[in-house]
Structure 1
Amino acid sequence: MDRAAFDQLLRRLRALGLHERGEVCLEMAQSIYGKRICALIEQAGQDRLQCPRCQNTRLYRDGSANGLQRYRCQHCGGTFNALTGTPLARLRHKDRWLSYLDCLRDPACTVHRAAKKVGVHANTSFRWRHRFLDWVKFDRPRSLQGIVEVDETFLFESQKGAKQLTRPARRRGGVASRRGISADQVTIVVARDRAANTIDFIGGRGALKAASLQRHLLPTLQSDALLVSDGNPVYRRFTRDAGIAHRAVNLKRKIRVDGAIHVQNVNGYHSRFKGWLSHFNGVATRYLANYLGWRWAIDGNRIDSADGFLRAALAVFRS
C-alpha cells in the first residue's frame, strides 16, 4: 500500500465510532495473535516431532494447513502437525487462544466472563478451559525432600454436568448422607516440602488408604525425607511399610506446632485452594485434577504469561 492510500485509510479509521474502532482493534489483534501462536506451537512441538501413529522420526514436510506446517511419515505415510495427539488438536480460533489464556491466568475469571472477553460461546470457553489444563496438571516437582508436610482435605463428590447421575441429586453445598468421612466425599492429599515444592493427588472416595499413598506419594519422596502429618494412623502404616521417617503432630492435645514439626504450610495451601475453588460455584469431580493443576500453576508461579501457559498446555514446562 502506498503512502497516500495508507493516509486515506487512517482518515477513515479516525471517522469510525468507538464501537467500530474496538472491532477493528480486536480484528487486528487476532490477526497478529494468529501468526504468533502458530510460531509458538511449532516451537513447542519440535521436541516431540515424531509420527503419532508409529513414533517414527523420519519425516518430510508436506504443505501447511491453518497456519501450521504439516508433516508426512516416511514409514506409514500418515500426516500430522504439531498439535496432533495433544489436547489442543482440532480446536478452532487459534487467533483467540492467547487472549483466552490471559483469562485463565486471572484466578477470578469465570467461564462466561472469559467467553465474553474473547468472543466465543460459553460452552466453547468451558471446553477450552479443560483442554488447556489437561496437560498443565502434569507440571509437578520430581521429588520432595527434607521435611515434607502432608495432610488430606475433603470435597463433596460432584457429578455436575453429568447426563445421568449414579445417586439421588442434591443441592450444591448439601450435606453428606451420614456424619464423618464417607464415600460422599473425595479425598485430596497435598504434600509440601519446606522449599514450597508441592505434590497433590486425588486419594479416592472416603477415608484415605495407605495404598493410595504408596501409589502417588512414595515415588516422589526422597529416601531421607521426614514426613510430618497429623495423627491419622494411615500415615504411620504407610511410613512404616515404606521405611520413611515420620513425625506426627499431636492435635488431640492441641499441639499444632512443635518447633519445625507442623503441617501449617500444607493447611495454608488447603485454605487457598478451597477459597479459590469457591469462585467456580461447584466443580465436577471428573475435572478436579485439572483444577488442582491450575491452582499449583498459580500458587507456584509456574506460568507468568499467556505464552508460558500455551507451552505448559503442550507439556513444555518451565525448569
Structure 2
Amino acid sequence: MKSEGFRRLLRQVDSLTRQQRSKLVDALRPAISLDKVCEAIDSARPDPLCCPSCGNSRHYRHGVVRGLQRYRCRACSRTFSALSGTPLARLRYRSKWLDYLKEMLGSRSVRAAAKLIGVHRNTSFRWRHRFLDGVRHDQPERLAGIAEADEMFLLESQKGSRQLERPARKRGGVAPHRGIGHQHDCILVARDRSGLTCSFVTGRAAVTARQLHRHLLPVLDPDILLVTDGHRAYRTFAREARIAHAFVNLRAGERVRGAVHVQNVNAYHQRLRGWLSRFNGVASRYLPNYLGWRWALDGERIAAPEQLLERAIGLFHTQR
C-alpha cells in the first residue's frame, strides 16, 4: 500500500465502531504473529549465515517468502532461508507457531493444543516433535563441582507403532517379569549442585560402564566429584575414567553422608515421572525429545515462546 493510502486509512480508524475495531484487530492478529515469528527466527540466525547445501557463507538476498528473507548461494546457486536445514523447514502456518509453543510451555497434550490453536491433531503431533528435535540438544556442555548421577526406568512403549515387536499390553500393562529387565528403558540423569542437568536414554535394562563412558564422560569436568548409589557400573566407570567418586549405600539404609547424597537427582526423577504421567504413556523412540522438553521447563528456564523457538531452530547454519 502506498504511503498516502495508508495515512488515509489511519485517519478513518477513529470513525470505526467497536465491533469494526474488534474485527480489524482479529484480522491483523495473524500478520502480527507472523512478524513476531520472523523476528525470533532472525534473532536466532547465526552470523555468518551459511548455505545448508555447500556450507559457503557468500550469498545475496533473493526475495521474501512468507515474511522470511530468502538468499541465493553464490557458490552452488541454491536458495535457502534461516529455516533451511533445520527441523522446522517446510512447516506451514507459521503465524500459529508462537501460540502453539505457548501451549507447549503449559505442557498441553497433542489434542488439547490442536483444539486451542485450530490445527489438526496430526499437525499438532508433527509440530511437537519438530520443535523438540532441536530442543533436546540444548543441554549443558559441562557439569562441575559435585554432580549426582542416577538412573530411572520406564516400561518400554511402542505407542503408535503399526507393528509391535511383542504381544500388545492393555493400557500400558506391566512387564512379564519382576525387577528391571530388557522391557525397561533406562534414563540416566546427571545433575550438579548448581542445577545444571544432563539426561540420556542409555538403552534397555540396567546401565553399564560402557554406556556411562559414552554418555556421561563427555559432560563431566575432570575435577568433578561424582556422587552415585552403590551400583557397580559407576565404580568401574569412575576407576577407568580416573574421576573422583563417592557413593551412598542405599541397600544399607544410608541416604546422606555429609555432602554425599543423590537427593537432588532423585527429586528431578520424581518431577520428571510426574510430568510424563500427564501424557498417558510416551513412546520409547520419542523419550529423548521429552527429556529435552522437561529440562527446558525445569525451574522456568525457558519462559517465553520466542526462547523456545530459538532453541528449536538451533545453530544449524554454521560454517563447515
- Tell me if structure 1 keeps the 8 A contact 2:48–2:57: no
Q: Which runs of 5+ in 2 are unaligned?
A: 1-7, 316-320
Distance 1:46 1:208, change over 3 A: closer
C-alpha distance in structure 2 between counterparts of 1:210 and 1:274, whole Å: 25
Task: Give the number of the structure with larger relative contact order, counting CA–CA contacts within 8 Å between residues 6 or more apart.
Answer: 2
Pairs within 5 Å for 1:43-192: 43-47=43-47, 49-107=49-107, 109-192=108-191
CA-CA distance at 1:3 after TM superposition:
6.1
Secondary structure at the residue paired with 1:215?
A: helix
Q: Deviations for 1:67-114, whole angstroms, at most 9, x for unmatched residues?
A: 11111111111111111000100011111111111111113x111121
Pairs within 5 Å for 1:1-319: 1-2=8-9, 5-10=12-17, 12-13=19-20, 25-47=25-47, 49-107=49-107, 109-315=108-314
Greater displacement, 93-102 / 165-174: 165-174
C-alpha distance in structure 2 between counterparts of 1:48 and 1:156, whole Å: 45
Greater displacement, 271-280 / 59-68: 59-68
TM-score, normalised via structure 2 length: 0.92
CA-CA distance at 1:276 after TM superposition:
0.4
Give the corresponding residue for 1:17.
none
CA-CA distance at 1:232 after TM superposition:
0.9
C-alpha distance in structure 1 between counterparts of 2:71 and 2:109, whole Å: 37
Secondary structure at the residue paired with 2:53?
A: coil
Distance 1:285 1:146, change over 3 A: same
Distance 1:284 1:3, change over 3 A: closer
Distance 1:273 1:12, change over 3 A: closer
TM-score, normalised via structure 1 length: 0.92
Greater displacement, 196-205 / 296-305: 296-305
Q: Deviations for 1:263-301, whole angstroms, at most 9, x for unmatched residues?
A: 000000000000000000010111100100000011143
Greater displacement, 172-181 / 78-87: 172-181
C-alpha distance in structure 1 between counterparts of 2:37 and 2:168, whole Å: 42
Distance 1:239 1:26, change over 3 A: farther
Letter in 1 for 2:302: I
Distance 1:283 1:48, change over 3 A: farther
C-alpha distance in structure 1 between counterparts of 2:265 and 2:114, whole Å: 34
Q: Percent identity?
A: 54
Letter in 2 for 1:153: M
Distance 1:3 1:211, change over 3 A: closer
Q: Give the alignment's Cα RMSD to 1 decimal.
A: 1.7
Greater displacement, 267-276 / 175-184: 175-184
Letter in 2 for 1:140: Q
C-alpha distance in structure 1 between counterparts of 2:288 and 2:162, whole Å: 20
Stretches (4+) displaced over 3 A:
1-5, 23-27
C-alpha distance in structure 1 between counterparts of 2:310 and 2:48, whole Å: 13
C-alpha distance in structure 1 between counterparts of 2:225 and 2:199, whole Å: 17
CA-CA distance at 1:2 after TM superposition:
4.2
Letter in 1 for 2:17: L
C-alpha distance in structure 2 between counterparts of 1:24 and 1:292, whole Å: 41
Give the corresponding residue for 1:18.
none
C-alpha distance in structure 2 between counterparts of 1:48 and 1:172, whole Å: 50
Aligned length: 308
Letter in 1 for 2:104: L
C-alpha distance in structure 2 between counterparts of 1:194 and 1:310, whole Å: 28
- Tell me if structure 1 keeps the 8 A contact 2:141–2:219: yes
Letter in 2 for 1:260: A
Distance 1:4 1:251, change over 3 A: closer
